[in-house]
């Protein structure tokens, strides 16, 4: 041990970290005042808490799924879905560029996660690895000052169909797969020399928001959602700085834009559902999808929301050796909401979005308890879209309806692998409900 620092081990990794940032505890790791079951779960490959330049877990996963072959030239022509990427490294000067495959046709599926439910991880990785990413450094203020490449990408973002395009790179693309717990995977990339695209069929809804330079960004997001624009397409345009008051427009890194849009839309829906009466029964929805089990319990009480995850040993954020049992953590908001960013990350907002959508359709409000078990066959993170679309699908299934919380929990207990007592221990909602009755009825 060094003065002012503490040695932290996680998943076979050891790093020296500032004592005031991280403290190792027997029950987990405390990062900036918050307790996490593992350092990896606190970091999720984004905060680089282990002190390394790249997350060793993600690097290993990338190597396991790396596709042989690929693009071996400095020029590519094909149909972009359309798709674009805005990085975060080096902010406020970030990498921006298009994504396109080396073939023509209807490629919209390759960048539309709303259509991926039920597809395996290998198929999703194949979609993303086929898209080559061009990179050019831009100031985030280019969204308000203007830039030729950015203008082309913004025009693409308004398209309703795939667009034929051509890119010339400064060198052959680097054959790798970039993984994130927030964004969908990204494939090969190279510095961009030039890019051009053919004319596109514009979505008039997005176009109108783009040209309205008096409309605030959050208002644009909410309006487009209400008009039926896919969340992924709103996120893409938001990332490219297409919304907001003219001089205040900025590029937003892709991973930030995903969480921002989920948060904005779900906040609007929360305000709406609070005007409806509560559900009159206990309702349980569930879904199993690519190594995940999702369970949502609607409780007939005013709005509150909780999202809890259990990462089993051998999963990305609880690698073998990091924790001998499932690492559980979650976040909660009362009727009055929350002001700080949830420690569990962007999936909190993607789940809240799916839950409030369902309640809006029902014209009801409820206390929402959402649980997720992640098993070892979930071999790598594919983005929060997976959570959002899985919860959406769960809500479209026929619910199991019960008269009491005891009955609802007994049913959920039969689906879950983690003991119910562990969920109760980590759940603000369940502890509150059970404080009014005997806990023995549930264990």
Beta bridge partners of 196: 166
Which range, 27-31, 118-122, 199-203, 399-403, has the best average confidence (pLDDT)?
A: 399-403
Predicted local confidence at residue 178, as pLDDT: 78
How far apart CA 88 and CA 237 sit, in angstroms, is: 16
| Residue 152 tokens, joined | 């082309």
Residues 162-171 have pLDDT tens digits of 999 999 999 9
- Lowest-confidence region among 66-70, 250-254, 419-423: 66-70
- Predicted pLDDT at 13: 28
pLDDT at 423: 96
Residue 26 has a pLDDT of 46
What is the spatial distance between Cα 382 and Cα 186, in angstroms, rounded to a whole number? 10
The token duo for 159 is 């398209």
Which pTM value belongs to this model?
0.85
* pLDDT band, residue 430 (cuts 50/70/90): very high
pLDDT in the model for residue 179 = 74
- HSE-CB for 275 with a 13 A CA cutoff: 6
pLDDT at residue 62 in the model: 58
Q: What is the pLDDT of residue 382?
A: 87
Tell me: pLDDT of 340 over 70: yes
Topology of domain 75-197, CATH? OB fold (Dihydrolipoamide Acetyltransferase, E2P) (2.40.50)
- Confidence label for 59 from pLDDT (cuts 50, 70 and 90): low
CA 340-393-306 angle, to 5 degrees, is: 25
Average pLDDT, the chain: 86
Q: Is a pLDDT exceeding 90 seen at residue 34?
A: no
- Bigger pLDDT: 435 vs 265: 265
Predicted pLDDT at 317: 72
CA–CA separation, 74 and 90 (whole Å): 25
Residue pair 369/297 in contact by the 8 Å Cβ criterion: yes
pLDDT(377) > 90: no
Looking at 11-25, 209-223, 287-301, which range is the least confident one? 11-25
Question: Minimum mean pLDDT among 37-51, 133-147, 264-278, 393-407: which range?
Answer: 37-51
User: CA angle, corner 247, sides to 213 and 133, nearest 5?
Assistant: 90
Report whether pLDDT(435) > 70: yes
SS (H, E, C) the chain: CCCCEEEEEECCEEEEEECCCEEEECCEEEECCEEECCHHHHHCCCCCCCCCCCCHHHHHHHHHHCCCCCCCCCEEEEEECCCEEECCCCCCEEEEEEEECCCCCCCHHHHCHHHCCCCCHHHHHHHHHCCEEEEEEEECCHHHHCCHHHHHHHHHHCECCCEEEEEEECCCCECCCECCCCCCCECCEEEEEEEEECCCCECHHHHHHHHCCCCCHHHHHHHHHHCCCCHHHHHHHHHCCCCCCHHHCCCCCHHHHHHHHHHHHHHHHHHHHCCCCECCCEEEEEEEECCEEEEEEEECCCCEEEEEEEECCCECCECCCCCCCCEEEEEEEECCECCCCCCCCCHHHHHHHHHHHHHHHHCCECEEEEEEEECCCCCCCCCCHHHHHHHHHHHHCCCEEECCHHHHHHHHHHHCCCCHHHHHHHCHHHHHHHCCCCHHHCC
Radius of gyration over every alpha carbon of the chain, rounded to an integer in angstroms: 22
Q: Per-residue confidence at 314, pLDDT binned at 50, 70, 90?
A: confident
What confidence tens digit (pLDDT) does each residue in 342-364 have?
988 899 999 999 999 999 999 99
Domain with CATH 2.40.50 in the chain: 75-197
- Angle in degrees, 0-180, between the axes of helices 204-211 and 231-239, rounded to the nearest 10: 30
Residue 377 CA to residue 409 CA, distance in Å, equals 26
User: What is the reported pLDDT for 53?
Assistant: 54
Q: What is the pLDDT of residues 133-178, one digit of tens each?
A: 999 999 999 999 999 999 999 999 999 999 999 999 999 988 777 7
- Segment 40-61 shows an average pLDDT of 62
């Amino acid at each position: 041990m060094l003065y002012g620092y503490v040695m932290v081990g996680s998943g076979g990794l050891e790093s020296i970290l500032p004592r005031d940032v991280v403290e190792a505890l027997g029950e987990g790791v405390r990062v900036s005042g918050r307790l996490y079951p593992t350092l990896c779960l606190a970091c999720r490959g984004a905060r680089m808490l282990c002190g390394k330049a790249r997350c060793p877990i993600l690097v290993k996963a990338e190597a396991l799924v790396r596709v042989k072959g690929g693009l071996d030239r400095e020029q590519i022509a094909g149909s972009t879905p359309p798709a674009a990427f805005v990085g975060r490294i080096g902010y406020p000067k970030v990498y921006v560029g298009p994504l396109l495959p080396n073939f023509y046709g209807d490629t919209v599926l390759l960048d539309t996660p709303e259509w991926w439910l039920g597809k395996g991880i290998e198929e999703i990785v194949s979609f993303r690895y086929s898209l080559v990413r061009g990179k050019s450094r831009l100031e985030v203020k280019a969204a308000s000052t203007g830039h030729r490449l950015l203008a082309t990408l913004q025009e693409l973002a308004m398209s309703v169909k795939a667009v034929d395009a051509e890119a010339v790179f400064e060198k052959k693309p680097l054959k790798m797969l970039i993984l994130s717990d927030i964004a969908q995977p990204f494939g090969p990339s190279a510095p961009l020399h030039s890019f051009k695209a053919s004319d596109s069929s514009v979505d008039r809804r997005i176009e109108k928001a783009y040209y309205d330079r008096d409309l605030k960004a959050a208002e644009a997001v909410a309006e487009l959602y209400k008009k039926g624009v896919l969340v992924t397409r709103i996120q893409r345009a938001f990332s490219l700085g297409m919304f907001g008051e003219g001089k205040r427009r900025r590029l937003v890194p892709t991973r930030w834009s995903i969480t921002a849009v989920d948060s904005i839309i779900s906040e609007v829906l929360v305000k709406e559902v609070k005007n409806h009466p509560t559900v009159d029964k206990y309702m349980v929805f569930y879904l199993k999808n690519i190594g995940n089990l999702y369970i949502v319990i609607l409780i007939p009480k005013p709005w509150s929301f909780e999202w809890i995850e259990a990462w089993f040993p051998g999963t990305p954020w609880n690698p073998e050796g990091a924790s001998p049992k499932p690492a559980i953590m979650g976040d909660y908001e009362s009727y009055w909401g929350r002001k700080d960013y949830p420690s569990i990350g962007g999936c909190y907002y993607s789940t809240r979005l799916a839950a409030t959508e369902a309640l809006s359709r029902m014209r009801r409000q409820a206390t929402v308890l959402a649980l997720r078990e992640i098993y070892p066959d979930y071999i790598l993170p594919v983005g929060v879209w997976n959570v959002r679309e899985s919860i959406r699908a769960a809500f479209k299934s026929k619910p199991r309806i019960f008269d009491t919380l005891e009955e609802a929990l007994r049913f959920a207990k039969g689906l879950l692998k983690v003991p119910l007592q562990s969920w109760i221990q980590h759940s603000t909602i369940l502890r509150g409900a059970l404080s009014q009755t005997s806990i023995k009825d549930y264990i």
